[in-house]
Amino acid sequence: MSDLNNNIINTDYKNEINIKSNTNFQKILDNTINKVVSDGKVPSLLIHSCCAPCSSYTLEYLSQYFKITVLYYNPNIFPEEEYDYRISEQKRLIEAMNFKYPVEFIATDYTPMDFHDNIKGFEKEPEGGKRCELCFGIRLEKAAKMAKEMGFDYFVTTLSISPMKDSYLLNTIGDRIAKKYGIAYLYSDFKKRNGYKRSVELSKEYNLYRQDYCGCIYSKIEREEKSGCK
């Protein structure tokens, strides 16, 4: 990544965007991309991905402007077989898609205690509550740390594509962690511009496995209870 690092000016990070509840993150991303294009740069980007379907649109979109590495780190996922299956689907998607710039892939080992240790006391929170906020933080923190160590220009997560995930919260966490590690977060809201709809289309096109629960054991139980399986 060093060849790219030397000539990138991280405008997002230096500008220290003042995030508000009505901030238009798509507009910020548009500005970042316009700057990258007008400067003739191809910055490196570490994308934390939660699953292949959520990454599909994000990769189609951002790979036109960034040299991407996908990071699969999701210690929240239960059980381990699900973790392995989501990795294999992620790999399959990257191999099947055509990109302007090559997309690399990193998957970490299954480390569920990273999740359980961090969400202690909040296990019973409903989906979208404090447990999820902590879960976002664990994954974004790992992405920022690895991006910094490996010399990437930006890091981001695919999570904002989900209509269930609060992009204000995700960008606020990303911003805080970016400042902690001294690396730029790519402010974004991938559900905008029909991003979620496009991810559903791409999932069909590539015949991707689309799980029916978010990932952790608590979301799995919640889903099973709602569907009457338990």
**Burial class of residue 182 in the structure, from the number of CB atoms within 10 Å of its CB (0-12 exposed, 13-18 middle, 19+ buried):** exposed
Shortest spacing between CB 229 and ligand SF4, in angstroms: 17
For ligand SF4, which is the closer residue by CB, 8 or 138?
Answer: 138
Within 186-215, which residues bind ligand SF4 (CB under 6 A)? 214-215
Residue 177 CA to residue 144 CA, distance in Å, equals: 7
66 vs 196, beta carbon nearer ligand SF4 = 196
Q: Binding to ligand SF4 by residue 220, rule CB under 6 A?
A: no
- Write each residue from 92 to 131 as x if it is in contact with ligand SF4 (CB under 6 A), else as -, in one continuous string: -----------------------------------x---x
Alpha helices in the chain (DSSP H): 2-5, 11-15, 25-39, 52-62, 80-96, 112-119, 130-150, 167-181, 195-205, 217-226
Q: Cβ contacts of residue 182 below 8 Å, gap of 6+?
A: 13, 148
Q: Least Å distance between CB 220 and ligand SF4? A: 9
Query: Is 132 among the residues that bind ligand SF4 (CB under 6 A)?
Result: yes
CA distance 190 to 214: 17
The residues pairing with 156 across neighbouring beta strands, listed in sequence order, are: 47
Counting contacts by CB under 6 A, is residue 54 touching ligand SF4?
Answer: no
If the CB atoms of residues 65 and 136 are measured against ligand SF4, the closer one turns out to be 136
Report CA-CA distances (Å) from 212 to 5, 29, 195.
Answer: 39, 29, 19
Contact with ligand SF4 (CB under 6 A) among 135, 140, 143, 147: 135
Binder among 26, 55, 56, 76 for ligand SF4 (CB under 6 A): 76
CB 189 within 8 A of CB 168: no
List residues near ligand SF4 by CB under 6 A.
76, 127, 131-132, 135, 214-216, 218-219
